[in-house]
Amino acid sequence: LASTGRSRDESNTVGVLNIAKDGYDQFDEFEPPVVPGNISVAIDNRNRNEVPDLFSTDMRRANEDGHYWDLEVLAPTNGQKTYLTFEGIGYVPDEYDVFIINKTNKQAQNLKWESTYRFANSGSKSYIKQDLRLVVGTKEFVQENNAGISLYPDAFVLSQNYPNPFNPQTSIMISLEEDARVDMVIYSLLGEEVVRLASNEFRPAGYYNFIWNGLNASGLKVSTGVYLYHATVRDKSGRIVLNKTKKMVYLK
């Protein structure tokens, strides 16, 4: 399920069947044309030799290692967020990992921890295009098909927000080498707390995005200017393993 504002795309399915083929077969369905102003998610099989096209349904033959599906998301730049909700994650075997990889932003999310992936609809054009990859399989298979993007961080890192400067919203990525608890707080230059994006939240090892929409804790737009975002990360024992502050610029 994909949604942004009042626009939704509910007709996308991927999966495995013992009787399906890895190529085109009767279980696959083509993606209909995009309705202007609406969000669209399509399975991108245009690089496939057999029936290259965009699909709304793509079933593959079950195997022991796993599968991946490349996805194309078109969302109107409406100043809101796009939400992609993946249903059926609970049916994936325990020994498999499930990741959504954003090849456009070079980011990834573990869908077994959080089954909804979100990104900001920011851009100068009427639509924003995001190229994603859904990978389901063994850890080795997932690593081999990660689109060149690290899925398992080797350090605790607070990245620079993107875009910066920004309006109306921006993404802040944090990398966790191991399971940890995260505090993410926005401050003014005077050190006054503006809003909390996370408060002692447990997160498994991985990469995570926090989106700030320029609103304070009361839901009001902040003034143009420089703001600080601060991350405090504690490991399982409660020891602080990351305590970092960075600047960002909000423009009206």
**208-224 confidence digits (pLDDT tens):** 889 999 999 999 999 99
Give 10's contacts (C-beta < 8 A, 6+ positions apart): 1, 2
Please list, in sequence order, all residues whose beta carbon lies within 8 angstroms of the beta carbon of residue 239, skipping any fewer than 6 positions away. Answer: none
Give the CATH number of domain 157-250; options: 3.30.830.10, 1.10.10.10, 2.60.40.4070, 3.40.50.880.
2.60.40.4070
Q: pLDDT of 142-170, one tens digit each?
A: 999 999 998 888 999 999 999 999 998 99
pTM of the model: 0.74
**Continuous segment of H or E residues that includes residue 220:** none
Tokens of 167: 């309006």
CA 83 to chain centroid, in Å, comes to 9
Cβ of 224: how many Cβ atoms within 10 Å?
12
Among 15, 2, 207, smallest CA distance to 111 is for 207
- Omega before residue 76 within 30° of 0, cis: no
Q: Is 228 helix (H, G, I), strand (E, B) or coil?
A: strand
